[in-house]
Structure 1
Amino acid sequence: MVVLSVPAEVTVILLDIEGTTTPIAFVKDTLFPYIKENVKEYLQTHWEEEECQQDVSLLRKQAEEDAHLDGAVPIPAASGNGVDDLQETIQAVVDNVCWQMSVDRKTTALKQLQGHMWRGAFTAGRMKAEYVLMLAQTFHQPQTQICFSKNRGVRQRGLVYSEFFLLLSVQLVDGHFDTKIGHKVESESYRKIASSIGCSTNNILFLTDVTPEASAAEEADVHVAVVVRPGNAGLTDDEKTYYSLITSFSELYLPSST
């Protein structure tokens, strides 16, 4: 087994999710289909709740910004003229969400609604997260923080209801970051993450399966390792040579704090 020694100055492990901690197939075959199959029921059930209305408001604002895009679906404001009008509005939200997903949009509005829906599904036991390997065993060191780089809602609940471990219950997860702090292919996002944690970018090790994200992190002076999982996008020969590669978190060696 190849062992990658983590630099002594690293005090924060920043983890991507899809393709890094969990199989990409779980996202494509379970998480995304759940949204498409259940978004209408979810909206009808939670429509009067403040959180749902905030989600819809954000989606409507995004739809206005997307009006110039081919196939974009507008979301009209409900006029309050009865059940039929409400159902038309809900259907517009459903159509907008499905359109965004069909063209692989990464908008904060879409991710926020998805996160709330997945959180509810995990809480109700309708879904279990397929997180791989024992992160707790690998990263359980007092001096090392663990942070995740996407979608607070689903990731938190997914970890709580994982079949493998209860990271949050033993307080091993110290933070979650989503697109509100910036996109993962922008180096400034990693500087903001470091600032919010209260450390230097050089104190962070970022694990990801996406090389443009790795490149952006490196530009911000973040340590990087690329995680190779079945189903992930292939790497070029140059990328295989340039980046430190791991296939399991157990291949990381974290120096002891003592």
Structure 2
Amino acid sequence: MVVLSLPAEVAAILLDIEGTTTPISYVQDTLFPYIKDNVKEYLRSHWGEEECQQDVSLLRKQAEEDSSLDGIVPIPSETGTGEGEVEQIIQAVVDNVYWQMSLDRKTTALKQLQGHMWRAAYTSGRMKGEVFEDVVPAIRKWREAGLKVYIYSSGSVEAQKLLFGYSTEGDILELLDGHFDTKLGPKVESESYRRIARSIGCSTNNVLFLTDVTREAHAAEEANMHVAVVLRPGNAGLTDDEKSYYSLITSFSELFLPSST
């Protein structure tokens, strides 16, 4: 087993989600397919609610901004209350969502609707957030040692809280000290990690970032954070140079505190 000793100056651990705390397969095979399979039903069921209408308005505005892009699906405005007209608009929203997801777009409008759909699925018990079995025991040990633990993911803060609040391990939000998403900045830009450190109230050198993506690891390292790359089943492979350059772990249990080495 790999043993990676935590640098003594580290006071906080920053965690990626997909491929780090949570299997990539959960995101690819559960979260996103749920949206595609249920978006029409969700819109029909919640159409009369203000939140749903806000989601549709935001998607419509995004579609207007995207009007010059190939394949864009415009979303017409509702001019009446006819059932046929509503159904046409719903179909346009569905087609627009499919189009955005096919391009792996991460617009605020799309993420907002997805977040509301996932919330409904989690709270109704139709879905549970998946975390690797080594995650919760390790976080408990880190916190017992006085470390803070934060999340930084491209998924919205709301989606993060749903995943950990309704997880296969129960509600584990109390183990997390804070959440960051890409509203703060892209994960492949070093300035994002400096902003996180400032928000936490420490130096970047006091933070260890765990991720499965070497571009993210590189950006965090440029900001003077400590980094380790997490190797999980289903994650993208690394080059020989990346394997030799980065500290690698296959489980959070391989990260040891200085006092335990």
Query: Fold conserved (TM > 0.5)?
Result: yes
Aligned to 1:164: 169
Assess, with a 3 A threshold, how the Cα gap between structure 1 residues 196 and 54 changes in structure 2: closer, same or farther.
Answer: farther
Corresponding residue for 1:108?
108
Assess, with a 3 A threshold, how the Cα gap between structure 1 residues 31 and 202 changes in structure 2: closer, same or farther: same
CA apart distance, 1:94: 1.0
Q: CA deviation at 1:172?
A: 1.1
Q: How does 1:1-258 map to 2 (within 5 A)?
A: 1-140=1-140, 141-142=143-144, 143-150=146-153, 151-168=156-173, 171-255=174-258
After superposing on structure 2, the runs of 4+ consecutive aligned residues of structure 1 that deviate more than 6 Å are none
CA displacement at 1:33 relative to structure 2: 0.8
**How far apart in 1 are the matches of 2:44 and 2:250?**
43
Q: Residues of 2 paired with 1:12 and 1:51: CA distance?
A: 36
Scaled by the length of structure 1, the TM-score of the pair is: 0.91
Closer, same or farther: CA 77–246 of 1 in aligned 2, 3 Å: same
Alpha-carbon separation, structure 1, partners of 2:49 and 2:148: 34
CA shift for structure 1 position 81: 4.5
Tell me the distance in 2 between the aligned counterparts of 1:68 and 1:40.
25
Q: TM-score, normalised by structure 2?
A: 0.90
Q: Residue type of the partner of 2:252?
A: F
Q: Distance in 2 between matches of 1:12 and 1:54?
A: 37
Taking only the aligned residue pairs, the percentage that are identical comes to 69
Calculate the aligned-residue CA RMSD, in Å.
Answer: 1.9
Aligned equivalents of 2:257 and 2:66: distance in 1? Answer: 45
Deviations 1:46-99 (A, max 9, x none): 223333233223222222222222112222222234222222222111111111
| Unaligned segments of structure 2, at least 5 residues | none
Q: Which runs of 5+ in 1 are unaligned?
A: none
Alignment length, in residue pairs?
255
Distance 2:56 2:229 in 1: 36
For 1:69, give the aligned amino acid: L
